[in-house]
Amino acid sequence: MAELVYDANGRLLFTKEMKKEYTLLIPQMLPVHFGMMAEVLRREGYKCEMLTTNHRGIVDTGLKYVHNDTCYPALLVIGQLIEAVNSGKYDKDKVGLLITQTGGGCRASNYIHLLRKALKKAGLENVPVVSLNLSGLEKNPGFKLNLRLIRRFIYCIMYGDIIVMLANQCRPYEAHKGETDALVGAWEKRLVEGFAEPGSLTYKAMKANCGLIAADFAKIERLDIKKPRVGVVGEIYIKYSPLGNNELEKLLLGEGAEPVVPGLTDFVIFKIFNREADVDLYGGSGLKKFVVRRLKAYVEKCQHAMLAAVGGAGFRVPGDFEHLRKLAADYLGVGNKMGEGWLLTAEMLELIHDGTSNIVCAQPFGCLPNHIVGKGMLRALKDDFPQSNIVAVDYDPGATRINQENRIKLMLSNANGGRRRAAAEVSENA
């Protein structure tokens, strides 16, 4: 068994020996994206597994080891990880936990410490925790985030975004039930298996694959009917994770709506752009600004290629990151970047401008930054866009699912009422 090694501050390190022996568990947020990223890590020599558990017991485990006032996503992630370690499926002496840190002033940076505290309380202090971050917050001898790995993660994000985006535009209208989900699974398998081929994880291959993916989804037979489009924005974990939002997308589909969920790419570029904004606002290294600009330009290049493939196949194309930044400029400054910051408001604006005026703003109950840029901006948006139909829904351990669903159904009722009124007006004018 690998020897336990600690740094000067008493933090258990993930060593090179652990890389050979330990299985890294990854909490789920975006099933398609994270599944491919896990495969990239395997190609780099890591043993890893993405957790797919989704039940009330995860909340109960989180409440057992984390204070109930703690941010709900932190409680869910910690609950899911500890439950997995205690499930009997893994050797507790050969398992590690991998989570992301953004470097900002919210749970995405700080709950790694809550996780270690919870592990100690659960008698699992010998389980190493590995931070995946671009900020140099924590380093481990057995885990290296090099440029090649970063580029490959970027390609996985592009693949995940285009697959989810096209699936959401096809699934509500498919003539043959289940065809969209079958194609999603087929492309996930095809991409993952292709990662083993030389030259598969390159910009050229990513661009070509996006074109093929879009062309395949365009072949799905869709009914010529109209359904209300409903945008989903909010805190990143609650917005994307079926565990965090009680399978919100499935609920919207069941209620006869088309979910419109902004991709992860904009959030990634937002986090990179914030490093550039910091130098402009507070001063700093010109070299740092140059490096982050180069990284940002590369991710934007990939985003443009992915969006071009979407438009080329005849699907609805969302705006790119620069479009979002310009939309938000009249409402919030770039220094407003805690949590999802100005990006959350920008996503609502982009949805409204694109004709998706029905929006669910999903947020943890105690997430102050997102209450400000989400719920706090609703009045300004309603004043400027009276047709907007936005509902803010809080998620926490004590919130009942039925109450959340009723609020969303009321929003959908308003959306359908608005559509009927608009149709009646068109009929009268004719």
Q: Please give the pLDDT value at position 180.
A: 98
Per-residue pLDDT of the chain in tens (430 residues, 90 and over written 9):
678 999 988 999 999 999 999 999 999 899 999 999 999 999 999 999 999 999 889 999 999 998 877 889 989 999 999 999 999 999 999 999 998 876 666 655 677 888 999 999 999 999 999 988 777 678 899 998 888 899 999 999 999 999 999 999 999 999 999 999 999 999 999 999 999 888 888 999 999 999 999 999 999 999 999 999 999 999 999 999 999 999 999 999 999 999 999 999 999 999 999 999 999 999 988 898 999 999 999 999 999 999 999 999 999 999 999 999 999 999 999 999 888 999 999 999 999 999 999 999 999 987 888 889 999 999 999 999 999 999 999 999 888 899 999 999 999 998 877 555 554 454 444 5
Report the chain's terminal Cα–Cα distance, integer Å: 79
* Neighbour count for residue 402 (Cβ, 10 Å): 8
Which strand (E) or helix (H) includes residue 394? strand 389-395
Domains in the chain: ranges and CATH: 18-145 (3.40.50), 228-263+318-429 (3.40.50)
Structure token digits, residue 343: 């990006």
Distance CA 31, CA 105 (A): 26
Distance CA 399, CA 70 (A): 14
Residue type, 402: I
Q: Please give the pLDDT value at position 426.
A: 42
E-strand ranges in 29-157 read 47-50, 95-100, 129-132
Q: Please give the pLDDT value at position 421.
A: 53
**Residue 410 Cα to chain centre, angstroms:** 26
Q: Please give the pLDDT value at position 427.
A: 47
- Name residue 229's beta-bridge partners: 258
- DSSP helix/strand/coil, 230: strand
* CA dist 290 → 103, 283, 294 (Å): 19, 13, 6
Q: For Cα atoms 381, 374, 154, give the angle at the middle one, nearest 5 degrees.
A: 110
